[in-house]
Amino acid sequence: MQKFTRPILALPNSETRLLLHSCCAPCSGEVMEAIQASGIDYTIFFYNPNIHPHKEYLLRKDENIRFAEKHGVPFIDADYDTDNWFERAKGMEWEPERGARCTMCFDMRFERTALYAAENGFKVISSSLGISRWKNMQQINDCGHRAASAYGLAYWDYNWRKQGGSARMIEISKREQFYQQEYCGCVYSLRDTNLHRKSQGRALIKLGKLYYGVDDADTSL
């Protein structure tokens, strides 16, 4: 197989610093290595009050901290303000994935990322959220641009999936033996994934069970 040479990436408006919102280690692994290879100065911003329960939140966050430390990247551990998340999700408990609840969820995470960026001298924000093929990239980009423009920032909507990005995301996850989450994150996605599994006679999700490259699990994050 031909060796992949990473392209040199450049931030919008020739900016030099990036605040990268991260949702989890598997999604941010490829994004971080792509950014790192371009010599871009960046900081990880972990703000994901959607993740439920707290045990799962810590599992995902700790994996991300481990990888950030390995790369020597600053890691901002933001609030776990679940009360605000549940307040904003009211009435959208039965929305399907990619629907209105997810727009709210992305908006909320980008709004806090943009606020931190504006308060700390970052002119560009981005996120690892869009690399997952289970998500609607346009929906994520719309939320990112909306939050960034409210603070006079740029949202970097680089397509992390292209040129084999999705495959490298899995490769890196296996190499690093990242914790493999089995649902998007919120209590409603946990419920719906389990309902789907039950309807197919499959085993329900067990938190903290699967690790890439260790367990013989499917890799469809």
CA–CA gap between residue 51 and residue 189 (Å, rounded):
10
Interface pick for ligand SF4 out of 101, 112, 123, 168 (rule CB under 6 A):
101
DSSP 153-191: -EE----TTTTTHHHHHHHHHHHHT-B--SS-SSHHHHH
Closer by beta carbon to ligand SF4, 178 or else 188: 188
Tokens matching residue 139: 């929906």
Per-residue x/- mask for ligand SF4, residues 41 to 60, rule CB under 6 A?
---------x----------
Of the CA atoms within 13 Å of residue 75, those in its CB half-sphere come to 20
Q: Does 221 bind ligand SF4 (CB under 6 A)?
A: no
Nearer of residues 106 and 212 to ligand SF4, judged by Cβ? 106
Residue 2: its H or E element: none
Task: Supply 119's token pair.
Answer: 């308060």
Among 32, 189, 210, 212, binds ligand SF4 (CB under 6 A): 189
With respect to ligand SF4, which residue has the nearer C-beta, 11 or 89? 89
Q: Which residues are annotated as a binding site for [4Fe-4S] cluster?
A: 23-24, 102, 105
Sites of contact with ligand SF4 (CB under 6 A): 50, 97, 101-102, 105, 184-186, 188-189
